[in-house]
């Protein structure tokens, strides 16, 4: 398998965590989002959407981080990233989607670039935009964690899974944009638990080989 990624892409970060939890190793190729590798014809022939991550599994190239992670979970059973019961899976997928659909897409590099280039939004307003969507989403995420007996050491029970995989990269992004995080004690407790695990720690942006040369 070959993972096309970028150290700061939080969607690629999610897939790196999932691969680590599953104890799977892949070849990797850096797609430098700052220099436009993702829009080059070569990469578009791999992923027509021109985004990362993409996972080449030989018989196909998989795209979209959540679809990739569900595939890994279906084809490599141990450890499971989703609960065994349908209701638990619905809760975990809802937590994951809350981040993957309602926070991250708004704060993606392509969107921030559009705000600056097309809408002439200045740095302060860009930061407010970023912080707004994090605050909206994290408040709901916190309420869902704090209000449910299903929350354990991690977002759902005592083993890490898909919701944690989405949460951790989003917290990294929030910290980069100075988002106040004191209002989300449960969410931050889970984040801290996750970061004690090697699978999460090794996946973080600063520990990717390209971090030293690109940043």
Give CA–CA dist 82/110, Å, rounded.
30
Determine if 93 is a binding residue for its own copies (CB under 8 A). yes
Residues numbered 127 to 186 that lie near its own copies (CB under 8 A) are: 128-129, 132, 136, 139-140, 143-144, 147
Q: Shortest distance, CB of residue 206 to its own copies, whole angstroms?
A: 25
- Binding residue (CB under 8 A) for its own copies from 87, 117, 123, 158: 87
End-to-end CA separation in angstroms for the chain: 26
Q: Is 4 helix (H, G, I), strand (E, B) or coil?
A: strand
**Beta pairing class for 61-63 and 2-5:** unpaired
Determine if 105 is a binding residue for its own copies (CB under 8 A). yes
Residue 196 burial (CB count, 10 A): 9
Q: Shortest distance, CB of residue 6 to its own copies, whole angstroms?
A: 16
Give CA–CA dist 123/137, Å, rounded.
22
- CA 6, distance to chain mean position in Å, is 12
Going by C-alpha positions, the residue among 3, 124, 135, 128 that lies closest to residue 65 is 3
Site string for its own copies, 40-79 (x = CB under 8 A): --------xxxx-------xx-xxx-xxx-xx--xx----
What residues pair up with 5 in beta bridges, in sequence order?
A: 30
- Binding residue (CB under 8 A) for its own copies from 56, 97, 201, 210: 97
Residue closer to its own copies (CB basis): 112 or 188: 112
Q: Which residues contribute to the site for its own copies (CB under 8 A)?
A: 48-51, 59-60, 62-64, 66-68, 70-71, 74-75, 86-87, 89-91, 93-94, 96-98, 100-102, 104-106, 110-111, 114-115, 118-119, 121, 125, 128-129, 132, 136, 139-140, 143-144, 147
């Amino acid at each position: 398998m070959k993972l096309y990624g970028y150290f700061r892409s939080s969607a690629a970060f999610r897939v790196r965590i999932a691969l680590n939890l599953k104890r799977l190793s892949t070849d990797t190729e850096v797609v430098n989002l700052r220099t436009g590798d993702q829009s080059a014809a070569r990469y578009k022939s791999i992923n027509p959407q021109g985004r990362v991550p993409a996972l080449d599994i030989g018989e196909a190239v998989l795209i979209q981080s959540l679809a990739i992670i569900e595939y890994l979970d279906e084809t490599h059973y141990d450890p499971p990233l989703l609960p065994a019961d349908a209701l638990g899976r619905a809760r975990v997928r809802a937590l994951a989607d809350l981040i993957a659909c309602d926070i991250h897409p708004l704060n993606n590099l392509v969107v921030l670039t559009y705000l600056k280039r097309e809408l002439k939004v200045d740095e302060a307003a860009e930061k407010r935009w970023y912080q707004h969507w994090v605050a909206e989403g994290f408040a709901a995420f916190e309420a869902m964690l704090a209000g449910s007996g299903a929350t354990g050491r991690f977002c759902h029970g005592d083993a890490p899974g898909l919701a944690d995989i989405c949460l951790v990269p989003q917290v990294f992004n929030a910290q980069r944009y100075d988002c106040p995080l004191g209002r989300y004690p449960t969410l931050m407790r889970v984040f801290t638990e996750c970061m004690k695990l090697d699978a999460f720690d090794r996946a973080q942006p600063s520990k990717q080989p390209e971090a030293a040369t690109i940043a």
